[in-house]
């Protein structure tokens, strides 16, 4: 036997997990034994093991039976429930995230690694508990399963999975119901006197976290071939089978638990990568670049009007990432557009490595003129030839396995690269094979600087000069131990003939930076230790000149941009931006320059909570009349574009308490000594009761008037001022739509819109909280959508389910490039649809709406 507890211990622990009485669970176990559902056995420490099948039965009994006496009947009925088929276009309850993708693949049936074909509810639940118990498959359950739902009011159950549906991320319910010839349990059958307390007829939900916790308590047999849940394991496909083999090997090492934790984290990385891959189009794939012995794919990004002899940066992704997702997270193509260099993105194949890691630990893939290093070298040659790039300014960087492969490229082809940057990586030749690779990342391998240096010198016949190296690592990294950064520094310090003591130490953006200079004072090695950061690359997302990238799994928004700092270390930012270097095209590139080198300061419209420049103030600046000196209007402006002074002044003028025209002469930036005169007046008048009558008469119209003043138009939405529930206090938008109440059935939608002019490559971001209640039947729905000119760019739709976001969720870098250089209508919409007289509603709280690279507002 492996793992788990005996029955007597299991029931005690299960009671604690479910929040039930231990006495209650013991009685249910007694009923299972006396009813013949479970074979009797001795009590105490000699009791039989708690198998996944036993656990599934007891779990069903505890969740489905309203009363203890109904335990046996509940288990027999619910365990035998049959699955309702799920097919594309069906009405299976689900929650959809993101806009629908209009592709041929969008209508295909959702693909799950965990298969439930032909299994009853009890068999499926037992199989999931077994998968949760086994180390090699536990991460799969954590990534795919959302939870288990049992309805006590009718014999219905559901297993809810997270997957891709119609091109969107979704939580999909696999529902189970009675077989055609089956009968409901007695307490639900009126013909058998079903009379039970209606208060107990509710839906019970078990999240995946608790199911895994329960699965860990069960006992697996040494021979699992007879288990009825084995089809779930056997149907896992070749990709998961390969991961399973890797996990089995890793489990035999002292670091099995850390490997399991890393696998679980990588599932989130993979999910984000797949989402980006379905939308990203900034990279171009190149084929026929050489013999390609490593069987890699080649992607690149080349800015328009790339200068002659421009630099080249080779970017290597990490495990389960892709070229497109790494570019999205790191922002390298954004920096390339700003400063005029080309970017090459080699991409690993799944069939080369089941986690899509670069094989830095394999001897056949870390030698010169072999495998993956040669494939990448051939890609570099193709880029240099096709785009007339500078062979003396080729650089390489990567994170995690990409960081390890960066060291491989620097060691095997040092004559090709002028510099490299290793992020959360390991030294060259730290491992031979997977087992040593795991030891290296989880524990680290210590060698003397000379030993490390000899490994690099033996990789080629190169005698120097050697590439300069930037090393980045988070000191809270549990996936790749931070000691690997120090060992990497040892390796390259020996290569450059430097002492281990750094020449300079300083703080940059709050993080320690060390620098090793050569005899001529040139910086040859730098190291950033990002305190408090876990595994991944350090980012400072945003539109300012020093910012780029998108926060995501393994891309950590910690206030410093590794991408920007690395490019600066290599000297790529020393020249003027690409648009400024070509006088013939500088006018055409002005929009791009505003988006990139001055993005955020001059190219972001803030429709959220932050403050921005007043249009009137911009027009009164003397330099605005000089051609070429006017910056695009910034969006770091009024809350939701609100002219608060204008609203107060207009109200005072309407009440006859302020002379007309006064508001047009006043600006918040020019208020005497920063004194808010209208605010003082209005507050004083309210305190004196002078405005009481006016405020009572127009209270219901104030939100709509404020929205209209700020440029928003529509109904069903309010502007909540000084609301403590706002993301960071202050103001936020609130929308509400309902159906099924007060006799109103069918689709009901409420929306607000505003006009805005976009630049060349605009992006949208915002924060939100949603409450979508559509859990009436399989046909009721509630949704929140963000639209541009009527096209959905972001969406959450609940069908037959309830979806609540109790914490603020940030949606960042929503690509609006297809609407570039247009004046568009931005719309926020909440909608509900009920087919019965039961209320279905959608509520949305939205804050910090930002459009990067917005040129102007039609009404602001």
For residues 754 and 580, the model is more confident at 754
**Antiparallel, parallel or unpaired: β 168-177 and 82-83:** antiparallel
pLDDT tens digit sequence for 62-86: 998 888 888 998 999 999 998 876 4
Lowest model confidence (mean pLDDT) among 56-60, 654-658, 839-843: 654-658
Percent of the residues in the chain that have a pLDDT greater than 70, as a whole number: 71
The 3 state secondary structure assigned to 607-675 is CCCCCCCCHHHHHHCHHHHCCCCCCCCCECCCHHHCCHHHHHHHHHHHCCCCCCCCHHHCCHHHCHHHC
How confident is the model over 681-709, as a mean pLDDT? 46
b vs e for 723-735, b when ≥16 Cβ sit within 10 Å of the residue's Cβ? Answer: beebbeebbbbbb
> What is the model's pLDDT at position 3?
53
Higher pLDDT, 502 or 693: 502
Over residues 280-307, the pLDDT tens digits come to 668 999 998 999 999 999 999 999 889 9
Kindly report which listed range (100-104, 170-174, 190-194, 632-636) carries the lowest average pLDDT score: 632-636
Band of pLDDT at residue 638, cut at 50, 70 and 90:
very low
Question: What pLDDT does residue 89 have?
Answer: 43
Of the pLDDT bands very low, low, confident and very high (cuts 50, 70, 90), residue 699 is very low
Question: Quick one: pLDDT at residue 87?
Answer: 44
User: Does an H or E element contain 540, and which?
Assistant: none
853 close to 758: Cβ distance less than 8 angstroms? yes
Q: Of 379-388, 577-586, 621-630, 807-816, give the range with the top mean pLDDT.
A: 379-388
Looking at residue 825, its pLDDT comes to 93
Q: Could you tell me the pLDDT band of residue 623, with boundaries at 50, 70 and 90?
A: very low
Higher pLDDT, 256 or 316: 316
C-alpha 762/C-alpha 793 separation (Å) is 12
Between these two residues, 29 and 345, which has the higher pLDDT value? Answer: 345
494: pLDDT strictly greater than 90: yes
Reported confidence tier of residue 317, pLDDT bands at 50, 70, 90: very high
CB neighbour list of residue 774: distance below 8 Å, 6 or more residues apart: 780, 781, 782, 798, 799, 800, 801, 802, 832, 833, 840
Least confident stretch, 269-278, 351-360, 395-404 = 269-278
- pLDDT of 806 above 70: yes
pLDDT confidence bin for 265, thresholds 50/70/90: confident
Determine the pLDDT at residue 743.
Answer: 59
Catalytic residue, candidates 51, 139, 375, 400: 400
Please give the C-alpha separations between residue 278 and each of 268, 321, 673, 815, 819, in angstroms, as whole numbers: 16, 13, 53, 12, 18
Spell out the residues 6+ positions from residue 860 whose beta carbon is closer than 8 angstroms to its own. 615, 633, 637, 638, 641, 710, 711
13: left (phi over 0), alpha (psi -120 to 50) or beta: alpha
Of the pLDDT bands very low, low, confident and very high (cuts 50, 70, 90), residue 407 is very high
608 pLDDT exceeds 60?
Answer: no
Tell me which residue of 491, 320, 282 sits closest to 407, measured CA to CA.
491
Q: What is the pLDDT of residue 348?
A: 94
Most confident region among 192-201, 285-294, 439-448, 483-492 by mean pLDDT: 483-492
Model confidence at 498, pLDDT cuts 50, 70, 90, reads very high
Q: Is the per-residue pLDDT at 710 higher than 70?
A: no
Residue 746 pLDDT > 50, yes or no? yes
Torsion 220-226-232-233 (CA) sign: positive
* Mean pLDDT within 120-135: 88
- CA end-to-end distance (rounded Å), the chain: 70
Q: What is the predicted pLDDT for the residue at 175? A: 83
- The pLDDT > 90 percentage for the chain reads 38
Across 19-23, 47-51, 71-75, 114-118, least confident range: 114-118
- Tens of pLDDT, residues 830-842: 999 987 778 899 9
Band (pLDDT 50/70/90 cuts) for residue 314 is: very high
pLDDT value for 270: 77
Residue 188 near residue 153 (C-beta atoms within 8 A):
yes
pLDDT tops 60 at residue 626? no
Quick one: pLDDT band at residue 810, thresholds 50, 70, 90? confident
Across the chain, mean pLDDT equals 78
Preceding amide of 130 cis, omega within 30: no
- Spatial distance between the Cα atoms of 328 and 338, rounded to a whole number of angstroms: 15
Instruction: Mean pLDDT check: name the lowest of 111-115, 265-269, 504-508.
Output: 111-115
pLDDT of 595 > 50? The answer is: no
Residues 128-169 pLDDT 10s: 998 888 776 777 787 788 889 888 877 888 888 876 655 566
Q: Which has the higher per-residue pLDDT, 353 or 653?
A: 353
Q: What pLDDT score does 714 carry? A: 87
SS3 category, 111: coil
- Pairwise pLDDT comparison (662 vs 314), residue with the higher score: 314
Rounded-to-integer distance, Cα 51 and Cα 558, Å: 45
Instruction: Taking residues 703-718, report their average pLDDT.
Output: 72
So what's the pLDDT on residue 705? 56
pLDDT of residue 280: 61
pLDDT at 7: 80
Residue 563 pLDDT > 60: yes
For 665-677, write each residue's pLDDT tens digit: 333 433 444 445 5
pLDDT greater at residue 23 or residue 246: 23
Let me know the angle formed at the C-alpha of 540 by 534 and 545, rounded to the nearest 5 degrees. Answer: 160
Helix (H, G, I), strand (E, B) or coil at 785: strand
Residue 111 binned pLDDT confidence (cut-offs 50, 70, 90):
low
| pLDDT at residue 730 tops 80 | no
Lowest mean pLDDT among 114-118, 340-344, 635-639: 635-639
Whether 471 shows a pLDDT value over 70: the answer reads yes
Is 579 a known active-site residue? no
What predicted TM-score, i.e. pTM, was given to this entire model? 0.48
Can you say how many angstroms the Cα of residue 350 is from the centroid of all Cα atoms in its chain? 21
């Amino acid at each position: 036997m492996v793992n788990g507890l005996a029955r007597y211990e299991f029931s005690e622990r299960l009671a604690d997990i479910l929040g039930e009485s231990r006495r209650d669970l013991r009685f249910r176990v007694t009923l299972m034994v006396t009813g013949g559902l479970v074979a009797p056995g001795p009590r105490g420490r000699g009791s039989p093991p708690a198998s996944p099948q036993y656990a599934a039965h007891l779990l069903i009994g505890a969740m489905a039976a309203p009363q203890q006496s109904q335990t046996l009947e509940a288990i027999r009925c619910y365990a035998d429930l049959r699955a309702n088929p799920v097919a594309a276009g069906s009405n299976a309850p689900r929650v959809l995230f993101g806009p629908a993708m209009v592709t041929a693949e969008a209508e295909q049936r959702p693909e799950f690694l965990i298969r439930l074909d032909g299994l009853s509810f009890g068999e499926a639940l037992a199989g999931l508990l077994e998968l949760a118990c086994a180390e090699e498959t536990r991460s799969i359950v954590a990534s795919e399963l959302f939870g288990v739902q049992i309805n006590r009011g009718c014999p219905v159950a559901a297993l809810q999975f997270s997957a891709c549906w119609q091109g969107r991320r979704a939580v999909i319910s696999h529902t189970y119901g009675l077989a055609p010839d089956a009968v409901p349990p007695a307490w639900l059958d009126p013909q058998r006197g079903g009379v039970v307390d209606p208060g107990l007829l509710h839906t019970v939900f078990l999240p995946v976290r608790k199911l895994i916790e329960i699965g860990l308590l069960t006992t697996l047999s040494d021979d699992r071939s007879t288990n009825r849940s084995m089809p779930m394991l056997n149907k896992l496909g070749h990709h998961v089978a390969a991961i399973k083999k890797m996990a089995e090997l890793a489990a035999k090492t002292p670091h099995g638990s850390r490997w399991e934790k890393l696998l679980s984290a990588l599932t989130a990385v993979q999910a984000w990568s797949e989402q980006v891959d379905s939308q990203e189009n900034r990279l171009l794939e190149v084929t026929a670049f050489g013999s390609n012995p490593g069987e890699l794919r080649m992607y690149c990004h080349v800015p328009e009007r790339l200068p002659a002899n421009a630099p080249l940066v080779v970017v290597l992704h990490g495990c389960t990432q892709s070229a497109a997702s790494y570019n999205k997270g790191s922002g390298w193509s954004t920096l390339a557009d700003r400063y005029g260099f080309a970017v090459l993105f080699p991409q690993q194949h799944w069939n080369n490595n089941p986690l899509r890691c670069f094989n830095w630990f394999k001897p056949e893939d870390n030698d010169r003129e072999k495998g993956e290093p040669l494939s990448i070298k051939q890609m570099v040659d193709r880029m240099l030839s096709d785009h007339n790039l500078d062979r003396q300014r080729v650089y390489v960087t990567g994170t995690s396995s990409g960081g390890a492969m960066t060291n491989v490229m620097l060691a095997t082809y040092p004559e090709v690269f002028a510099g490299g940057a290793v992020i959360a990586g390991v030294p060259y030749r730290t491992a031979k094979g997977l087992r040593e690779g795991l030891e290296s990342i989880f524990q680290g391998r210590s060698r003397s600087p000379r030993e490390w240096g000899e490994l690099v010198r033996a990789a080629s016949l190169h005698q120097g000069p050697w590439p300069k190296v930037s090393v980045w690592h988070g000191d809270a990294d549990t996936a790749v131990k931070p000691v690997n950064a120090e060992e990497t520094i040892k390796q390259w310090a020996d290569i450059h003939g430097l002492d281990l003591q750094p020449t300079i130490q300083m703080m940059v953006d709050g993080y320690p930076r060390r620098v090793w200079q050569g005899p001529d004072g040139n910086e040859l090695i730098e190291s950033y230790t990002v305190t408090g950061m876990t595994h991944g690359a350090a980012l400072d997302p945003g539109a300012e000149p020093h910012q780029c990238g998108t926060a995501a799994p393994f891309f950590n928004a910690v206030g410093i941009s590794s991408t920007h700092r690395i490019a600066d270390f290599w000297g790529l930012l020393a020249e003027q931006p690409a648009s400024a270097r070509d006088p013939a095209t500088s006018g055409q590139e002005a929009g791009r320059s505003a988006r990139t080198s001055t993005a955020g300061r001059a190219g972001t419209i803030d429709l959220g909570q932050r403050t921005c420049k007043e249009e009137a103030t911009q027009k009164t600046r003397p330099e605005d009349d000089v051609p070429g000196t006017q910056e695009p209007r910034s969006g770091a402006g009024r809350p939701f574009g609100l002219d608060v002074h204008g609203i107060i002044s207009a109200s005072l003028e309407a009440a006859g308490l302020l002379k007309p025209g006064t508001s047009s002469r006043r600006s918040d930036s020019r208020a005497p000594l920063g004194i808010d005169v209208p605010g003082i007046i209005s507050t004083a008048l309210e305190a004196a009761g002078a405005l009481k009558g006016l405020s009572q008469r127009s209270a219901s119209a104030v939100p709509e008037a404020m929205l209209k003043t700020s440029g928003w138009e529509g109904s069903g939405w309010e502007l909540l001022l000084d609301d403590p529930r706002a993301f960071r206090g202050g103001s936020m938008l609130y929308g509400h739509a309902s159906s099924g109440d007060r006799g109103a059935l069918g689709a009901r939608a409420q929306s607000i819109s505003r006009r805005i002019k976009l630049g060349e490559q605009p992006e949208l971001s915002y924060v939100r909280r949603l409450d979508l209640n559509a859990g009436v039947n399989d046909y009721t729905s509630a949704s929140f959508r963000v639209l541009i000119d009527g096209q959905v760019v972001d969406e959450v739709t609940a069908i037959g389910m309830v979806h609540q976001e109790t914490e603020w969720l940030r949606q960042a870098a929503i690509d609006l490039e297809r609407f570039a250089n247009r004046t568009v209508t931005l719309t926020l919409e909440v909608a509900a649809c009920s087919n019965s007289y039961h209320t279905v509603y959608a509520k949305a709280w939205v804050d910090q709406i930002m459009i990067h690279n917005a040129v102007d507002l039609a009404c602001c």
